[in-house]
Amino acid sequence: KAGVTQTPRYLIKTRGQQVTLSCSPISGHRSVSWYQQTPGQGLQFLFEYFSETQRNKGNFPGRFSGRQFSNSRSEMNVSTLELGDSALYLCASSTDLPDTQYFGPGTRLTVL
Amino acid sequence: GNSVTQMEGPVTLSEEAFLTINCTYTATGYPSLFWYVQYPGEGLQLLLKATKADDKGSNKGFEATYRKETTSFHLEKGSVQVSDSAVYFCALTEANSGYALNFGKGTSLLVTP
């Protein structure tokens, strides 16, 4: 079974721009979660979607948003990018929580 | 709230040495506990998990036991290999936080030949 895939793998943007990241979960998985990884703050939970509904949200500003499609694929969007948004963004999928979450390789976002 | 504390790295060991990475947690309910591993340039891979007290998770020679009395989930391996060099994250999930993974800061392990 194919694993979690994320596109693109690398992205460079400038301050003020917006960006959209994509995540395709493992086939049959309906829960998708997003995490941000930075050297300073470590791994932090952004949000979780199940059946196209956001079920849980972490402590991030409204510039961070997401959505999930009927095929369980998910996107996250960051508007008005700031330098501090530079990070590795990881997507994880699960059949449903609390079942184990499996991670994709991440998207490395650099904001200049 | 809940939190995870793990020992600061980096940890440097010689091949075939014994590994222990300490992890303690605070939680309000009954968490599930996890160890994830991250190799350079990659995402996180689940290494092992335990869902209730006294459970032992094991995989690829790594083990960890869920100790409720000491709120700990220490990772151990009897004989490390160079290929074990990576960053190891202890994490928990709990119902009252919607089962979002709450991670420790990570411990970098370097195994030298």
> Which segments of chain A are extended strands (E)?
5-7, 10-13, 19-24, 31-38, 42-50, 53-57, 64-68, 74-78, 87-94, 102-103, 107-111
pLDDT given for residue A94 in this prediction:
95
Chain A CB contacts of B89 under 8 Å are 43
Q: What is the DSSP letter of B72?
A: B
Is residue A1's pLDDT more than 80? no
Tell me the average pLDDT across A46-73.
96
- List of residues 6+ apart from A40 with CB closer than 8 A: none
Q: With beta carbons under 8 A apart, name residues in chain A contacting B32.
A: 98
Residue with tokens 């500003």: A61
Distance in angstroms (rounded) separating the CA atoms of residues A31 and A26: 10
Identify residue A46 by its one-letter amino acid code.
L
Cβ contacts of B61 within 8 Å, gap of 6 or more: B77, B78, B79
Site from A5, A33, A36, A43 to mutate, B interface, most B CB atoms within 10 angstroms: A43
pLDDT string in tens for chain B (113-residue length): 899 999 888 999 999 999 999 999 999 888 999 999 999 888 899 999 999 999 999 999 999 999 999 999 999 999 999 999 999 999 999 999 999 999 999 999 999 99
pLDDT of residue B29: 86
